[in-house]
Amino acid sequence: MSEARPSPSISTACLVGHITVKDAALWAEYRSRVPATLAPWGGELLLRGKRFAVLAGEHRHTDVVVIRFPNRAALDGWHASAAYQALIPLRQQAADVVLLAYEE
């Protein structure tokens, strides 16, 4: 009897954004427009929150967002998409943002 080989796992990918809002009204507009850009890529908002403490080290940003994608290609595709690229000037006016990508 042959032994079944496990199928290769496909890692999901997460985007983590560290954010300091500069203009609350522009930030609200940006946030309202992002979900439509995520849908075609299977992006799922996992967390959007405000920092209440830094427990170790230093961290200057006050807000965080975590978005999960089915895989790295979907995350990369979303970020490079015309729909999301069109929002970047608004994001830059609204907030200081650092975006990081991770594989799970």
pLDDT by residue (tens digit) across 39-67?
999 999 999 999 999 999 999 999 999 99
For residues 11 and 103, give the distance between their C-alpha atoms in angstroms, rounded to a whole number: 6
Cβ proximity of 69 and 16 under 8 Å: no
The span from the first CA to the last CA of the chain, in angstroms, equals: 34
Quick check: 2 pLDDT over 50?
no
For residues 10 and 104, give the distance between their C-alpha atoms in angstroms, rounded to a whole number: 9
The set of residues, in sequence order, having a beta carbon less than 8 Å from that of 84 and lying 6+ positions away, is 34, 37, 78
Q: What's the confidence (pLDDT) of residue 104? A: 87
Cβ proximity of 71 and 13 under 8 Å: yes
Q: Where are the domains of the chain?
A: 13-103
Q: What's the confidence (pLDDT) of residue 60? A: 95
For residues 16 and 39, give the distance between their C-alpha atoms in angstroms, rounded to a whole number: 17
CATH architecture of 13-103: 2-Layer Sandwich (3.30)
